[in-house]
Amino acid sequence: MERTLILIKPNAIQRGIMGDIITRFERKGLRIAGLKMMFLTDEILAEHYAHLVQRPFYPYLKASMQAGPVVACCLEGAEAVETVRQMVGVTNSRKALPGTIRGDFSMSGEQNVVHASDSVENAAIELNRFFKEGELFDYDCAVTRFEYGGEETIKFLNK
């Protein structure tokens, strides 16, 4: 099954909405394969936001990402990367559709509550960046057969 990374950003933790965010993914039927709280160092942030370090807003982004700990979460499911990006919404929360996490929980382009991997390739790189060997878990959920249809079970779960 496909895996993706989300980071619950410090602003969401400070605002007390981390549970609401995790609940949305759980209710959708995405399985939590890994979950941990951590503080992001200068090094890991520069690597994670390598495409933005030269941008004028990077010092503000960096400060907001180091204002407190983040929660890193690995979500697993069929086409998880694309599904989670759709649930998160576009970068600028004011433009994000109602019903998306950013659309429902934020007014900001920077303080936009969550990070989500943008491709299958980047998801693999980012999961390696934030989780060590042994911190991701493969386990059976009894409800999986009620979450996916027969063809999907063969295609995505290799069963």
Residues with catalytic roles? 115
- 118 contributes a contact to ligand IDP by CB under 6 A: yes
- 68: closest CA among 40, 43, 34, 105? 40
Nearer to Mg ion by Cβ, of 30 and 123: the residue is 123
DSSP letter string over 65-103? HTSS-EEEEEEEETTHHHHHHHHH--SSTTTSPBTBHHH
Stretch that binds ligand IDP, among 35-43, 68-76, 106-114, 147-155 (CB under 6 A): 106-114
The item of ligand IDP, Mg ion, none sharing an interface with residue 110, based on CB under 5 to 8 Å by kind, is: ligand IDP
Nearer to ligand IDP by Cβ, of 29 and 109: the residue is 109
18 Cα distance to chain centroid? 12
Nearer to ligand IDP by Cβ, of 126 and 148: the residue is 126
In the beta sheet, which residues pair with residue 34? 74
61 vs 56, 66, 80, 92, CA distance in Å? 10, 9, 26, 13
Stretch that binds Mg ion, among 19-27, 56-64, 103-111, 116-124 (CB under 5 A): 116-124
Give CA–CA dist 38/93, Å, rounded.
24
Nearer to Mg ion by Cβ, of 2 and 118: the residue is 118
- 57 contributes a contact to ligand IDP by CB under 6 A: yes
138 Cα distance to chain centroid? 18
Stretch that binds ligand IDP, among 13-21, 28-36, 73-81, 108-116 (CB under 6 A): 108-116
- 29 contributes a contact to ligand IDP by CB under 6 A: no
In the beta sheet, which residues pair with residue 141? none
- Residues forming the site for Mg ion (CB under 5 A): 118
